[in-house]
Chains A and B, each alone.
Chain A
Amino acid sequence: MRFSGLAGIVTGASTGIGLAIAERLAGEGAALCLIAAPSDAEELDAVTERLGGRAFGIAADIGAERTAQSAISETLERFGRIDLLASNAGIAPFGPALRVPITDFDATYHVNVRGMFLIAQAAAREMSREAGGAIVCTGSSDGLFGHEGQVAYNASKAAVTQMVRSLSLDLAPHGVRINGVAPGWVRTRATAGAIEDPMEWSRHRSRIPMDRPATPAEIAAVVAFLLSADASYMTGAIVPCDGGLTAGFRTSDWDVNLNPTCIPREARPYAPDQ
């Protein structure tokens, strides 16, 4: 139970990676404030109910200043402290660059960059007043390399990469560590369409050395590590969790894909420490 007695905030917590992070942190003992978009209010209620009395939800626009402020004050009111922040909320309206509406571009920046900064700044202010803390931002492999058809998203995730690096320098003297996780393909609501479509998925999977998408829990495992005391000397780092996507590429389908003598290990279901 690495997070017993600690309290934290998870944004984008109603579904996908954020939900897995919330489950993982709660499973390891953290009390949590969960934030999700107003359109996800119902899912968020279900999550907080499932996690029990040590979690509460706020359905609000993460890009609005008052959201971060009320999340901080409510968390302090209920738990008396803030040690952890998983700043994860993000949106991904894709489209070809020549036709992408500026409203999509603005909306992406509103959530992925402005929202990410507001909550990190507010949480770090509070952490710096007390014993310090740890922050993990959800970036993306698309914040490290280009990827066609999603210019606004890629630019916003590159901004997250650089925000993490810069904040690490500003926050180190205050005892606050900040790192980023950079997922590649993850099986979530947002990617279900691409992954379920055999034609489309065959194009994407051919670029993934591990030949499969991640589960949200596999991203959460990296986030939990970065938030934990095991990562006490890590700050400013971006950790890819992408099955080898950004390490390089494969040039053929593998005849050994189904080699029965060596089947890649599936992620073990998460079991909290005894």
Chain B
Amino acid sequence: MDLGLKDARCVVTGGSRGIGLASAEVLLAEGATVLIAARRRASVDPALASLASGGPVLGEACDLSEEGDVVRLISSARTRMGGIDVLVANAGIVGTPSPLSEMPTADWDELMATNLRGTFIACREASAAMRADGIAGRIVIVGSATAFHAESDSGHYNTAKAGLLGLTRSLAVDLARWGIRVNCVAPGLTETDQTREYIKAGIHPAALGRAGQAREIAAAICFLAGDSCGFVTGSTLVVDGGEIVKGPEAPQ
């Protein structure tokens, strides 16, 4: 299908694996140019190698918790691609799990620095670049179903993801004046390297009775990143196979 992404210049944070990598694949398949970023150069390079056959792809190392790193990433992406049409703000960490009653402040701060603060800085820098270049760009933030229903022992993660919903709505109303659209995709349990063991344990919270595939989340991200949905902004697309609609229910 034509998502209106041909020749779009896209930055995907957390693009070396999982949902970010799948998004990069779909963007390339739609004819876009993609720059992936990941924390470690050592994980960027193999991802670049796997994506190379799909189309023009670049890579950068960037620690989202370092403001200077993020500023450099966006400025470098703008220079190397000649502008930025799309930011997929996907990177995030799971953090160290513990009940909030016992969670060390350092664990909380570490997660917030990457997932919430880092995402804000990336969005700010990317939207400033879009404005400067007169580009009616698109930002897609990757949230989580845990923004709607909390998972135990992940209070920092749940809270940051809920914060991303507020960030999405706020960016949408602030950036609409420049024609920049901002939306969020909230995946449910998705099969990636990090979740495979968990899923094997037989945990299937979704009504569809299975976990999502990274490709299925990427499809929603790329739909919002394209310009075939030109009136959608400030929205959150929940892609969870019917997980949060179930509401509180005893496990079966």
Is A257 close to B, CB under 8 A?
Answer: yes
A177 to B238 CA separation, bound complex (whole angstroms)? 13
Kindly report which residue of chain B lies nearest to residue A170, judged by CB atoms. B207
A148 to B209 CA separation, bound complex (whole angstroms)? 40
Contacts of B168 in A (CB 8 A): 247
Is A2 close to B, CB under 8 A?
Answer: yes
Is A197 close to B, CB under 8 A?
Answer: no
B230 touches A209 (CB 8 A): no
Q: Given the interface contacts A247-B173, A262-B135, does A268 sit within 8 Å of B230 by beta carbon?
A: yes
- How many contacting A-B pairs (Cβ < 8 A)? 164
User: 1/0 contact trace for A232-258 toward B, CB 8 Å?
Assistant: 111111011111111111100010110
Is B43 close to A, CB under 8 A?
Answer: no
Contacts of A267 in B (CB 8 A): 227, 230-231
A2 to B219 CA separation, bound complex (whole angstroms)? 14
Is A102 close to B, CB under 8 A?
Answer: no
Contact-residue size bin, chain B (C-beta under 8 Å from the other chain):
35 or more
Is A77 close to B, CB under 8 A?
Answer: no
Contacts of A257 in B (CB 8 A): 177
Nearest chain B CB to A70 CB, angstrom units = 30
A211 to B180 CA separation, bound complex (whole angstroms)? 12
Is B220 close to A, CB under 8 A?
Answer: yes
B235 touches A247 (CB 8 A): yes
Is B99 close to A, CB under 8 A?
Answer: no
A228 to B3 CA separation, bound complex (whole angstroms)? 13
B229 touches A221 (CB 8 A): yes
Is A219 close to B, CB under 8 A?
Answer: yes
Is B233 close to A, CB under 8 A?
Answer: yes
Contacts of B231 in A (CB 8 A): 210, 214-215, 218-219, 241-243, 267
A233 touches B2 (CB 8 A): no
Is A225 close to B, CB under 8 A?
Answer: yes
Is A266 close to B, CB under 8 A?
Answer: yes
Q: Given the interface contacts A230-B219, A262-B131, A262-B178, does A237 sit within 8 Å of B238 by beta carbon?
A: yes
Nearest chain A CB to B143 CB, angstrom units = 13
Is B240 close to A, CB under 8 A?
Answer: yes
B136 touches A264 (CB 8 A): yes
Q: Given the interface contacts A233-B213, A235-B242, does A209 sit within 8 Å of B172 by beta carbon?
A: yes
A55 to B233 CA separation, bound complex (whole angstroms)? 33
List residues of chain B with CB under 8 Å of any chain A CB. 1-2, 4, 131, 134-136, 168-170, 172-173, 176-179, 181, 188, 206-209, 212-213, 216-217, 219-220, 223, 227-235, 237-242, 244-246
Instruction: Give 12 A-B pairs besides A210-B181, A247-B173 with Cβ atoms closer than 8 angstroms.
Output: A169-B207, A177-B208, A210-B231, A225-B223, A234-B240, A235-B245, A244-B176, A254-B177, A256-B178, A262-B179, A263-B136, A267-B227
